[in-house]
Amino acid sequence: MPGAPVPPLPRPLAALLIAAAAPAVGVAADGPPNALLTDPPAIVGPGPAPPGSPGWTHLGRVPPEAVSGPRGRTLLRLAGNTTLVSPAFQVPEDGQALLVTARGRALLAVRARPTDGGPEVALATLQLTRRLRSHDVALAGLGGRVVRLVLDPVPGLGQAVEIGVVGGVSSRLSAWTLLSGAPRVPRVGGRRALRVHREAIVAVSASFDAGPGARALSVAIRGDGDLVARAGGRAVRARGDAVWRRVRVPLPEGAGVARLRLRATPGDRPLLLRDLGLVVRATVLRRVRVRRSGQRAIVTGRAGPFGRGLRIELVVGGRVVDAARAAAGGRFRLVGRARGRGRVLAPGSDLRLPASHRVRLAPDLARVGAGELAAE
């Protein structure tokens, strides 16, 4: 049944729907696109025209009334169980959430009504208060579809609901597919983090080439809540804590193309995530050779894959004799006065599995002639 038209409101609300965000320059890292959350949230579409613009309709006996709100804002008051329906608009392909600004001692059900005749999609049930506040409404699964928004208040006895801005469709977690929830990506300690609060978020990364030596994907977690993550192998469950810690999500053996699925459920307080799917690699030590020069043992070799910058150590009898960073191509050279057996060690790190290679040094370097010693 067609609704009655809504009387027009003044136009200054439209200015609140426009925002610009310059792209951030991030540090390159192995992982899915936007794993470091360097792409800032951005407005990707205005959403429906502001409430009160032509095309808005209402269902109910009491027509909406324009009233003055705080700081000169104009609000639309809904009383008598009146429902507000927006004009049709297309949700951008990368649209993930929009804002609904409202107040009142009531619940406000927000639904999407597809224009193709499909069933209405429940988006959110907002718990309003007397304070005018902006609420996130997830648009998961609606990218590219043409819909109308249905704002259906459930007021307390004799109470009214006042609606402000509706719109500002945004992409919060770019390059990821959002299946549920309306994420926020604020700066925490100088870096952006995915903040999960009030409702669970389910997101899936784009597929990407994990590259050689990939064994797992890493996610950093902090705060109150639970994380379930999967990347083609077994699912991993972890609970947040007061400090940042990394969770490793195993990849299937021999995985080339990877895709990460996250389900983050907050507790009473927010849950924070960052470094969404950085690749954890195995380290391989190759072409390890030992030779002598006077009283010194010289150990050379290569660390890979992508070994440049890795710390490589020569360990004899539990003592680090020498250590160096691998150069271009993963090449390393270690020098030390040592006897007996030792190990060339690449210590593990957050994104590297450790590697060890045994070497046999001269029992007495003073009595060994020039030449190459054995590497096992």
Could you read off the pLDDT of 80-137 as tens digits, one per residue?
889 999 999 999 999 999 999 999 988 999 999 999 988 999 999 999 999 999 999 9
Task: Tell the residue number behind the tokens 């609901």, with chain if given.
Answer: 161
Q: Report the pLDDT averaged over residues 315-339.
A: 93
Radius of gyration of the chain, Cα coordinates, nearest whole angstrom: 29
Q: Say how far apart CA 65 and CA 79 lie, in whole Å.
A: 9
Report the C-alpha gap between 28 and 38 in whole angstroms.
10
As a residue count, the chain comes to: 376
Asked if residue 294 and residue 256 are part of one domain, the reply reads: no
Helices (H), the chain: none
Instruction: Compute the distance between CA of residue 182 and CA of residue 97 in angstroms, rounded to an integer.
Output: 6
- Encoded tokens for 308: 């440049």
Residues 101, 114: contact at Cβ < 8 Å? no
* CA angle at 225 for the pair 178 and 136, rounded to the nearest 5°: 45
Domain shared by 73 and 129, yes or no: yes
Cis peptide before 41 (omega within 30 of 0): no
DSSP-assigned states of every residue in 36-57: T--SPPEEEE--SPPTTSTT-E
- Alpha-carbon distance of 241 to 367, in angstroms, equals 57
Q: Are residues 275 and 290 in the same domain?
A: no
Specify the CATH number for the domain of residue 354.
Answer: 2.60.40.10
Q: Are residues 352 and 281 in contact, defined by beta-carbon separation less than 8 angstroms?
A: yes
Per residue in 135-162, pLDDT (tens digit) is 999 998 899 999 999 999 987 666 789 9
Establish if 179 belongs to a structural domain. Answer: no
- Count of structural domains, the chain: 3
- Of the three residues 214, 249, 279, the one that is the final residue of a domain is 279
What's the domain range around 349? Answer: 284-373
What confidence score (pLDDT) does residue 340 get?
82
CA gap 32, 38 in Å, rounded:
12
pTM over 0.85: no
